Amino acid sequence: MTTPRKVLIADDEPNIVTSLEFLMKGCDFEVRVARDGEEAMRLAQDFQPDLLLLDVMMPVCDGLEVCRRIRGNPATRGIRIVILTAHGRETDVARGLALGADAYITKPFSNKELVAKVRSLLQPAP
């Protein structure tokens, strides 16, 4: 029996957090929530999630910066990162992926798509 996977959600929109929480809990993941970039980085270190759902537009420290720092920190390097973006802009996506994100999801997203992506990232490689 594998230990339950840990997922950290970082988004400042309360309603979106609620829906994401519901979805992740529905997958039997352990969930924590961060409301801004600083909190996200702190929790990444302390909670040591397996995966991070990261919104790019956040106050204090924006998502892309968080991504960069988490990748740069050896303690958190292994975390899988999925960035959530409301912009259709390719630049954000490209930058995110260049900074080390593993996947991206555009809002509004399909729940099924999101869950599938998360699951595939958390699957141990065959």
Partner 1 sequence: MLGTSVVILVSFAYLGLLFAIAYYADQRADAGRSVIASPYIYSLSLAVYATAWTFYGSVGRAADNGVGFLPIYIGPTLMIALWWVVMRKIVRISKQNRITSLADFIASRYGKSALLGGMVTVIAVVGILPYISLQLKAVSSSFTTVLQYPEIAAPAALHVSLPQDTALYVALILAAFTILFGTRHLDAAEHHEGMVAAIAFESVVKLVAFLAVGAWVTWGLYNGFGDIFERTAADAQLKPMLTPFGGVGGDYSSWIWLTILSMLAIMFLPRQFQVTVIENKDEKHLRKAIWLFPLYMLAINVFVLPIAFGGLLHFPRGTADADAFVLTLPMSQKQELLALVVFIGGLSAATGMVIVETIALSTMVCNDLVMPVLLRLRGLGLNQRKDLTGLLLGIRRGAIVLILLLGYVYFKIAGEAYALVATGLISFAAVAQFAPAALGGIFWKGATRRGALAGLAAGFGVWFYTLLLPAFARSQWLPAGLLEHGPFGIEFLKPLALFGVSGLDQLTHAMIWSMVANIGAYVGVSLLHAPSAEEHRQASLFVDVFTWPGEARFWRGTASSPSLFNLLARFVGLKAASEAFRDYARAHGVERPEADADLVHFVEKQLAGVLGAASAHIMVASVVKEEALTLEEVRTMLDEASQIVVYSHRLEQKSQELERASQELREANARLTELDRMKDEFVSTVSHELRTPLTSIRSFTEILHDNPQLSLAERERFLGIVIKETERLTRLIGQVLDVSRLESGRVEWHESLIDMREVIEDTAASTSQLFRERNVRLERNLPSRVPKVRADLDRIVQVVVNLLSNAVKFIEPERGRVEIAVAEDHGFLRVDVRDNGPGISAEHQEIIFHKFRQAGDPLTGKPQGSGLGLYISRRIIEHSGGRIWVSSRLGDGACFSFTLPLAG
Q: Phi first, then psi: give them for residue 57, nearest 5 degrees.
A: -100, 95
Contact between 66 and partner 1 per CB under 8 A:
no
CB atoms within 10 A of CB 95: 16
- Nearer to partner 1 among residue 18 and residue 73 (C-beta): 18
Site size with partner 1, rule: CB under 8 A = 26
Q: Judge residue 103's burial from the number of C-beta atoms within 10 Å of its C-beta, 0-12 exposed, 13-18 middle, 19 or more buried.
A: middle
The CA distance from 39 to 47, in Å, is: 11
Q: What is the DSSP letter of 75?
A: G
Residues in 22-51 at the binding interface with partner 1, rule: CB under 8 A:
22-23, 26, 35-36
Residue 13 touches partner 1, criterion: CB under 8 A: yes
Q: Which of these segments, 44-52, 69-77, 95-103, 110-118, binds partner 1 (CB under 8 A)?
A: 110-118
Token representation of residue 59: 């106050």
Q: x/- site string to partner 1, residues 68 to 97, per CB under 8 A?
A: ------------------xxxx--------
Residue closer to partner 1 (CB basis): 100 or 109: 109
Is position 102 an interface residue for partner 1 (rule: CB under 8 A)?
no
Rounded CA separation 113/18 (Å): 17
SS3 49: coil
Give me the residues that bind partner 1 (CB under 8 A), please. Answer: 12-16, 18-20, 22-23, 26, 35-36, 57, 59-60, 86-89, 107-112
